Structure 1
């Protein structure tokens, strides 16, 4: 089995590429939605969040999102504490999920913060989905009904896109050109065991 990580910044089309792979029959693990699920269901996360923020962080089976957000975004240290609780559990859950699909030739982990969270440690290859900045801003404004300044602030808080591309094994460029040939090249390269910058799906 090959475990493939997909990442990309806001508006890059990362989730769209993951959906295309899902439509081809490959199982996709979305770390964002799974982290939200685990913050409710995982006993280790619940215990550590209660120790950190008090029992009011939960209301029955619901997370007190305003309380968590106020703490999380107050300082970088606070965010790091939350991430140190959640991300290891997400990693373990992904590995269990992948192990249950041991007969699959390929499974996909989708994460906007793949490098920042250390998820590259649990995948074999990483694909960065890249789009020019102006396209990313336009897409995010339309999708989220945000202003250009709001989108730019969110982009500035993420890892630099060029750095993500330089660290990736493959790059898919989503600037309006066809994605299907790029994904075909990606799957062919993975089947042949080719990785590294020389095997990029598309050069920028």
Structure 2
């Protein structure tokens, strides 16, 4: 049996990649949410937990074993070198977890790996194709303000500034889904779905 084609899907904050993934899931496509798994593994993967404690101190975790998010965020948010260090601990463990997950998806023609930092982490190199979900910056900021009431426009722009520039992502992508509310999303997803199925057959 042929292994499934591995397709990455990424996009900046507010681009709508989670919505696009939900549409793929409705079509029966397995989706691995790398960011959700990263959060999970930071408390359940013993190797990763001990590496984080060693690098960032025992205060990185609360007494009940949960992640001390505010402490960790305060440590890395404005320090790109520390953020890089944290990502360098987390990404390999997520990569391993993802490979184990793929091994269980053999009866599917293709799978999706959803990750905000797909290019930045280098994990795109292990995938067959990459989709970038694209929307203009002003629209993305509006969407996040509506969704995350605790964030300000300046905070969102700071996050965008920390992510890879949109034009670089688009150059590296194999496919682009436009989510700027001028083109319907579902037909774009269905066209790619059919393309990946025909690639696998």
TM-score, normalised via structure 2 length: 0.90
> What is the CA-CA distance between 1:13 and the residue it aligns to?
0.7
Distance between the aligned counterparts of 2:57 and 2:135, measured in 1? 41
- Structure 2 residue 75 is the aligned partner of structure 1 residue 71: yes
Specify which of 137, 150, 154 is matched with residue 149 of structure 1.
Answer: 154
3-state DSSP class of the match of 1:129?
A: strand
Q: For residue 190 of structure 1, what is the aligned residue in structure 2?
A: 196
| Range moving further from structure 2, 17-26 or 50-59 | 50-59
Alpha carbons 2:141, 2:157 under 8 Å: kept: yes
Specify which of 29, 50, 53 is matched with residue 50 of structure 1.
Answer: 53
Report the count of equivalent residues.
194
Unaligned runs of 5+ in 2: none
Q: For residue 161 of structure 1, what is the aligned residue in structure 2?
A: 166
> What is the CA-CA distance between 1:17 and the residue it aligns to?
0.2
- Structure 2 residue 45 is the aligned partner of structure 1 residue 30: no
Unaligned runs of 5+ in 1: 195-204
Alpha carbons 2:110, 2:197 under 8 Å: kept: no
Distance between the aligned counterparts of 2:140 and 2:193, measured in 1? 25
3-state DSSP class of the match of 1:97?
A: helix
> What is the CA-CA distance between 1:74 and the residue it aligns to?
4.3
Q: For residue 198 of structure 1, what is the aligned residue in structure 2?
A: none
Q: Show CA shifts across 1:33-70 (max 9, x none).
A: 10010000101101111211233322232112222222
Q: Judging changes above 3 Å, is the alpha-carbon distance between structure 1 residues 139 and 127 closer, same or farther for their aligned structure 2 residues? A: same
- Structure 1 residues 85-100: aligned runs within 5 Å: 85-100=89-104
| Range moving further from structure 2, 180-189 or 123-132 | 180-189
TM-score, normalised via structure 1 length: 0.89
Q: Show CA shifts across 1:68-127 (max 9, x none).
A: 222222421111111111100000000100101112111111111110111202321100
CA-atom RMSD in angstroms = 1.6
Question: Relative contact order (alpha carbons < 8 A, sep ≥ 6): 1 or 2 greater?
Answer: 2
